[in-house]
Amino acid sequence: MNQNERTRLEVLNRMARGGQVIPLGRAMYLIGHSTAHVRFCSTSSPVSSMYKFGINQNTLRADYEVWICGGADLYYLIPVDTIRSIYEDPDAYFDRRHPQICIASVDAKADFATYARGGRALNLSPYLKRTLESLDDYP
Q: What is the pLDDT of residue 138?
A: 39
**Tally of structural domains, the chain:** 1
Q: What is the pLDDT of residues 56-89, one digit of tens each?
A: 999 999 999 999 999 999 999 999 999 999 999 9
Phi, psi of 121 (to 5 degrees): -140, 160
Name the 3-class secondary structure at 82.
Answer: helix
Distance, CA of 73 to CA of 129 (rounded, Å) = 8
Distance, CA of 20 to CA of 13 (rounded, Å) = 8
Does 139 fall in a domain?
no
* Contact predicate 132/32, CB 8 Å: yes
Does 14 fall in a domain?
yes
High-pLDDT (> 90) share of the chain, %: 78
Q: What is the CATH number of the domain that holds 102?
A: 3.40.1350
Does 49 fall in a domain?
yes
Tell me which residue range forms the domain holding 39: 3-129
This prediction's pTM: 0.91
Q: What is the pLDDT of residue 18?
A: 82
Does 75 fall in a domain?
yes
Does 134 fall in a domain?
no
Phi, psi of 11 (to 5 degrees): -65, -45
Confidence of residue 44 (pLDDT cuts 50, 70, 90): low
Q: What is the pLDDT of residue 45?
A: 63
